[in-house]
Amino acid sequence: MSVFSVIGIAGSGATVYRKWLDAVSDNIANLNTVRPTSEAAYQEQRVIAEPMPGGGVQVAGTTVSGSPEGKLVYEPNHPLADAQGYVRYPDIDLSSEMTQLIMAQRGYQANLSSVDRAREAYQAALQLGRG
């Protein structure tokens, strides 16, 4: 509905930030996911945003960053350790993920603020017709 397009645009932004939150929480959840050295380590998930043709933003797709080699850690007692006693940890920086979490949360809140302000503005305009 074109009359309330502000709300739709802000809603698309909120959806993108929600997906970013999903990706960041996925990364944090897999921070200690151990793989044997014969497999690739878990890689950091990233969300790619792109502008929508009619206004708004959408997720173009996800990509992975960081090396599939990860971090080799010497844990000879680990059940997945290889003959040399090494396992693979993902190469994810927790502080970077926490920063992204704050950015995604604030972006989500900012978009919802836009929705709220637009609603207030429309209702103020409708008050004109009630006098």
Partner 1 sequence: MSGISPVGGFVPFSIPTTVSPVVGAGAPDVTGVEQAAGGGFATALGQGLQSLQQTQTHADELAVQAATGDLTDVHDFMIASTQAQLATELTVTLRNKALDAFNEIMRMQG
Q: Interface residues with partner 1 (CB under 8 A)?
A: 1, 3-4, 7-8, 10-11, 14-15, 18, 108, 112, 115, 119, 122-123, 126, 129-130
Nearer to partner 1, 28 or 112 (CB): 112
Q: How far is the CB of 15 from partner 1 (least distance, A)?
A: 6
Burial 31-44 (b: 16+ CB within 10 A, else e): eeebbebeeebbbb
**Nearest by Cα to 37 from 1, 4, 83:** 83
Shortest distance in whole angstroms from residue 109 CB to partner 1: 11
| Residue 84 vs 123, nearer CB to partner 1 | 123
Residue 30 or 114 with smaller CB distance to partner 1: 114
Instruction: Report the distance separating Cα 109 and Cα 45, nearest Å.
Output: 22
Q: How far is the CB of 10 from partner 1 (least distance, A)?
A: 8
Query: And the tokens for 101?
Result: 């979490």
Nearer to partner 1, 86 or 122 (CB): 122
Nearest distance from residue 94's CB to partner 1, in Å? 27
The number of beta carbons lying within 10 Å of the beta carbon of residue 67 is 13
Rounded Cα gap, residues 43 and 15, in angstroms: 23
